Each structure stands twice: as structure tokens, then as C-alpha cells.
Amino acid sequence: MKMKNIILSAIFVISIFPELTAQNDTTETQKIDEVIVRATKVNQLVHNTPVSASVLNKNTIETMHINNIEDMNSRIPNLFIPEHGSRLTSPIYIRGIGSRINSQAVGLYVDNIPYFELGSFNFELYDISKIEVLRGPQGTLYGRNTMGGLIYMYSSELTDNENVSLRTDYGNYNRIKSVLHYNQPLGKKLIFALDGAYTHSDGFFTNNFLNTSADSYNTYSGRMKVQYAPSSNFKINFSVNYEKNLENGYPYAVYDTTTQKAFDINYNQLSTYHRDLLSSGLNINYKTSAFILNSATSFQFLADTQRIDQDFTAKDLFFVNQVRKHNTFVQEFTVKSIPVSKIKWVAGLFGFSQLKNKDVKVNYGEDAVAAYHLPGAMTLYKTYDQPVQGAAAYGQITIPVYKFKFSAGIRGDFEKDNMIYNYKRELNDNLTQIQDVDTFNTYYQILPKISVLYEVNNDINTYFSITKGYKAGGFNSTFERDEDISFNPEYSYNYELGVKARMMNDKLSLNTAVFYIDWKDQQVYQPVPSGRGAMLKNAGHSISKGVEFELNTKPVHNLQIWLNTGYNDVRYLDYVKDEETDYSGNIIPYIPEYTGNLGFSYKMDLSGSFFKSIFFVADYKQVGKFYWNDANTAYQDAYGLFNANISVNTSKHFEFGFFGKNLLNTDYNSYYFEAVGNSYVQLGNPLQINAFVKIYF
């Protein structure tokens, strides 16, 4: 590790972002608020949790205008989420571990509802009260496919008071977002809430060939929540979320890896992505004097259609029409200790069933017929039926001894995947059966975790943990050889040493962690032999090592400053792709050398009868250099984005202001891939200026 890299990584930042809103008492406003992490399932303070965790609260989410999961990019140490051309998938990386296709490597939960598919990750965020990000494997409590970490989102709690609010944002590129929130008590025991949202954008980029937007969209969202609490010890919550996305896509341009320059977006067939996403959950919570019982039942339905010019050129080569339907049922039962217990424990049973169906139609255009010397027009038809079932049992316990807290947990995780695949080819109006596959795989894993936390004093804790990570194997949706039909599981062991401190009479908090991840059988994204599509293969051995640092302070009344960083070195130790290609020693693509964010918030109290306060927020997030491919021949240089917000609060239940993203109009590339012999990039979003108004009724 070069010294300059250590210095650079110490400059850039991301924070926990505790509560930004000041209170009336000056002494209290100078203290860093204590933050509870609920994703640990035993509701622990961040300060007392032996895991690297960051929390974004409601004020942070709103003032930083985090409207979707991609807006979280680089706001958390070693969290990187590149902007993708559509919501078909959402590549998410924590500590260098992630996935671009197939199953996720970072878990996502929203109000106890697990999101199992990358195609469901990118949805509109509104009325979200908190986002927790746990870095490192979370397999003991959350099982498969949480190797990198976990993102847990919570919508706002229902309240006993009737309240209504309306917010509308408008910005350049004709970007609109309107959100209506309504909370209504229906007696002493029943509360009802309803949210609705509409978003629109004309898009940032133009497809020159068609002279149409390459990334415009309309999104319609709604959420209903009902809470029934017959007693203080018994509570039932039911929620239904629906979102419809209508997108033009994709803003991909041919890229010259030699000059590191992108050509104009220029492809000949209109491409779109449409998605319907329905998520519902029923949570039942019952408290006794000795333990707490909880049942979480959820159902998620995803239906989407992708129509895509797969070659992204002016030639008439390939056009793909893909239709998916996913139905996911999940049931989890947990029992855990009450908050006042000295010994903290949790145990649970988990089961799921997922029905996945996909139909793919590939049309070869006139130019493809000539280029590939085909005897005539050709269309490929592929159907996939992939039911998946799984079950798990787990438990974790924390025992205090003197100044130590010893924790141990274990999970048994079982999964069965089925693949029923049919492939036909139509050539000159003759339909021929090409391939028929009916097979299954089973996976079983034991996922342990141990940790010890030492309380140096009331303000400083240090901890060490060892955790096993696991991502299940599966079946590729694109393959051209029998050996590529499936891929094996991948495994990791995460070793972590951390310190958490609160200093200067709780005016400053400091969290830091050093980690080393030993990573085997990594599922590597690579093109199929023909280049028309992508699949997963297993690499031999990789490592991820780095450091995370979070600093947050309230030095004076109404002022908060955050300054943190994440440094990550992720590379292949042993990856021989074929007899001619050895990537051993190369840096794993899509992982920035460092990420960070520096910012401040300041509330100016006013003495006027109408204007009560002005709130300023500004931040600069930095992304270090990273590579786009395994060969390390294509890369993105380090870049930074400056964002700012100013809002005015009045005494008449009224708030208005302005915010901007990428105010320096920095040029960068946000996504890269290789297909049909070409390299492609998506340009990063340009400068955005917005105005907003929020009314409380």
C-alpha cells in the first residue's frame, strides 16, 4: 500500500449522519445523538455493536435528496453503487463484494420484507425514516447472499395524530417528483396511512440515431400501511407497496478503451424497460416479561419487460425482448430477549419459496444475417422456469463478562434450485428444437460468527469479529455450452478489528475498522463465448482488505460536520480464465480504491414572525480510481461530485428551497460492459438544479 494512497483515503469521507435538526437547548444540540441499529435484531446502539454500521436518518435522506438506492453511492464507507441504464438490475458493492447479474451479494430489507432480486432493488424512496447499512457478511442472521453486507430501510412510524403533507420537486431536464402522505388514526387501537408518489424525467441523454431520449422515465408509486395495537404488548402491522416504472433505455455509448473516450449514443431500435413491483408484508409482534415473539410474512411480485437493442449500434444486428415474472413468499419466526436483559439472544426459523419464469426472444436483424453468413432471417426463443425453495434455522447470543461482551451465532442454510429450460430456433420460418434442460442443484451451509467487544471506558469500545459469508450457486440465464449452465457457491471469511469512540462530552463520534476478507470461488461476471450476453463463472481465490473511518462532530450550536473515508484493496489471487488468460494479481473490477464524503449542515434560526429558520447542507463525495474489466485495460479515473441544499422553514406549515447535484458538472462514466466485440459506457449524470415546496396540512 503506497503512503499517498493512505493519505488520500484519510482525506475523503462518509458518515453516520446522526440527527441534523437542532433542539431548543444549546447544550443538547452540541451532542451527537445515540443511534439504534435494529437490523441486528436485538436493537443495539451503534456504539455497542461489534459490526461496522452506518445510519442515515430521515433528515439526512431528505436533505441529501436520496431518491433511490443509487443516490446512496459513496455516502457510506466502501459502498459503491454504479448508475445503471435501467432498473433491470442494481449492482451494489460493499467492501468489494457485489454482483451485477443474477442473485445479489448484498441483502436488502424494507420494513421486514426481503428483496431477493437485483431487479427489485432500485425503487423510489419516499417517507423513509431510516436506512441502516451493515458492512461485512451478515449470514448468521440473514443467510444466503449477504456476503457483502446488508441495507435495511424503514418507512416512517405511524402516529396517533392526523397529519397530511405534500411535497413537489421540479428541476432541469423536466424532472418532477411529487409525494403525498396521509396519516389517520381510526380510534385508539387502529392507525391507517397512505402514500402516493409520481416521478418523471425527460432524461439526460439523447439517442442520436432516433433523436429520442435514451433514459426518460415515468414512475407511479403507492404505499398503504395499517397498524392495529390491541394492547401495549401486542401489535400487528400490514403494508402494501406498489410501483410501476415506464422507462426509455438505455444511455449506452460505444467506448474506446485506448483513448478512454465515449462516442455518441447511436443505436437504431428504440429500447424500453417496464416494471411492476408489488411488495406486501404482515408483521405480528408480541412481548412478554421474558421474551419477544415476532412473525414476519411477506409476498413480492415482480413483472417486467425489457426490449433492448443488444448491439447498441446503428447496425441492425440483435434485438431482445425479455419478459420476467417472479413470485416470492417468505415466512420468518423469531424469539428474542427483552431490552433490559443482560444476556442478549435471538433465535429464528426462516423459509422461502420463489417462482421465477422468463421468456426471451432474440431477433437477428438484416446486418446480423450478412455478418454471420446466415441463410436467412433467424429468431431464438428461450424459456426458463426456475423455482427456488429454502429454509434456515439460526441463533445468536451475547454474554457480558466484566468489561467484555462475547457473542456467538450460527445458522444452517438450505436451498434447492431447479432449472427447466427450453431453447428453440426459427430459421426461414422453420422452428427447430435446440436444447432442453431439466435439472436441479441443492446447497447447504453452516454460517458461524464470533465476536468480542471490550469496553475500554464509557466512551470507547473496541471489538474483533470473524464471520463466514456465503452466496449460493445457481443457473445462468445465458449460456452457450453445457459447462456454463450452472455456477458454484462462493464463500468468504471476514476478519474485522474496530474501535468506536465518543469524545468531547459527546460532541464528537469516531468509528474505525480494519478488515480482511478471504474469498474463494468468487462468481465472476464475464461475456459468453459469442459475446452476445453475459454469465457467471467461478474464479479461484480473491482477497478484499481495507479500512473504514467515520468522524462526526457538532462543534457549535446548530452546526454539524462529517469527515470519513473508506479504502479498499480487492484483487484476484488466483484466477486463470483459460489457457491463454491469467488474471491472477489483477484488481477486481467495479471496486473504487477509496470512497468518501465531506460535508456540513447548519441551521440558522431567524427571529421573524413568518420565517423561522434557514437550513444549509453541502457535501462533496469522492470516488477513487477503479477498473471496468478483469484485464484492467479499461478504467475510470478518480472523480468528485459536489451537492448542496438550502431550505427555508416558516411558521405556516410551509417549507421551500433549492438543491443541486453535481454542481461542478463533473464528467465521469458510471457504468461499463463488453458485448458483441465492443466496449460500452454510460455517462454519469450531469449538473442538476431543483426547487422544492413542502406543505404540512
Q: Is 637 helix (H, G, I), strand (E, B) or coil?
A: coil
* Residue 664: per-residue pLDDT: 97
**Mean pLDDT, rounded, for 331-335:** 97
**Binning pLDDT at 50, 70 and 90, where does residue 83 land?**
confident
pLDDT digits (tens, 9 = 90+) for 458-498: 899 999 999 999 999 989 888 888 888 899 999 999 999 99
Quick check: 21 pLDDT over 60?
no
Structural domains in the chain (count): 1
* Residue 658: per-residue pLDDT: 96
Assigned C-alpha cell, 402: 466484566
Phi first, then psi: give them for residue 11, nearest 5 degrees.
-85, -35
Write the single-letter amino acid at 608: G
In sequence order, what are the residues at sequence separation of 6 or more whose Cβ sits closer than 8 angstroms to the Cβ of residue 607?
A: none
**Binning pLDDT at 50, 70 and 90, where does residue 73 land?**
confident
Of 372 and 568, the structure prediction assigns the larger pLDDT to 568
**Binning pLDDT at 50, 70 and 90, where does residue 5 land?**
very low
Instruction: Note whether 463 and 47 are within 8 A (CB).
Output: no
Please, which residues bridge with residue 345 across strands?
397
Q: Cα–Cα distance between 697 and 695 in angstroms, integer?
A: 6
Q: Cα–Cα distance between 74 and 81 in angstroms, integer?
A: 8
pLDDT digits (tens, 9 = 90+) for 490-515: 999 999 999 999 988 889 999 999 99
Q: Cα–Cα distance between 153 and 528 in angstroms, integer?
A: 36
* Residue 528: per-residue pLDDT: 81
pLDDT digits (tens, 9 = 90+) for 408-463: 999 999 999 999 999 999 998 899 999 999 999 999 999 999 999 999 998 999 99
Quick check: 214 pLDDT over 90?
yes
pLDDT digits (tens, 9 = 90+) for 263-291: 999 999 999 999 999 999 999 999 999 99
* Residue 30: per-residue pLDDT: 63
Instruction: Note whether 354 and 328 are within 8 A (CB).
Output: yes
Ranking 3-12, 499-508, 679-688 by mean pLDDT, the lowest is 3-12
pLDDT digits (tens, 9 = 90+) for 592-605: 999 999 999 999 99
**Binning pLDDT at 50, 70 and 90, where does residue 107 land?**
very high
pLDDT digits (tens, 9 = 90+) for 559-591: 999 988 999 999 999 998 888 889 999 999 999
pLDDT digits (tens, 9 = 90+) for 323-332: 999 999 999 9
**Binning pLDDT at 50, 70 and 90, where does residue 27 land?**
very low
For the chain, the distance separating the N- and C-terminal CA atoms, rounded to the nearest angstrom, is 56
DSSP structure string for 46-101: GGG-SSEEEEEEHHHHHHTT--SGGGGTTSSTTEE----SSTT---EEETTEEESS
* Residue 330: per-residue pLDDT: 97
Q: Dihedral sign, CA of 22, 26, 27, 30?
A: positive
* Residue 480: per-residue pLDDT: 83
Q: Cα–Cα distance between 101 and 91 in angstroms, integer?
A: 8
Q: What is the CA radius of gyration of the chain?
A: 25
Q: How far is CA 131 from the centre of its chain?
A: 11
Kindly state the percentage of the chain with pLDDT values over 70.
95
Cα distances (angstroms) measured from residue 184 to each of 181, 191, 226, 395, 672: 10, 6, 10, 38, 47
Question: Which CATH number goes with the domain that contains 156?
Answer: 2.40.170.20
Q: Taking all residues of the chain, what is their mean pLDDT, rounded to a whole number?
A: 90
Ranking 27-41, 129-143, 478-492, 632-646 by mean pLDDT, the lowest is 27-41
Look up the domain containing 548 and give its range.
3-696
Q: Is 63 helix (H, G, I), strand (E, B) or coil?
A: helix
pLDDT digits (tens, 9 = 90+) for 377-415: 899 999 999 999 999 999 999 999 999 999 999 999 999
pLDDT digits (tens, 9 = 90+) for 123-171: 999 989 999 999 999 999 998 889 999 999 999 989 888 999 999 999 9
Instruction: Note whether 628 and 637 are within 8 A (CB).
Output: no
In sequence order, what are the residues at sequence separation of 6 or more whose Cβ sits closer than 8 angstroms to the Cβ of residue 461?
A: 47, 48, 453, 454, 455, 499, 500, 501
* Residue 13: per-residue pLDDT: 32
Instruction: Note whether 294 and 282 are within 8 A (CB).
Output: no
Residue whose entry in the numeric block shows the C-alpha cell 447472499: 145
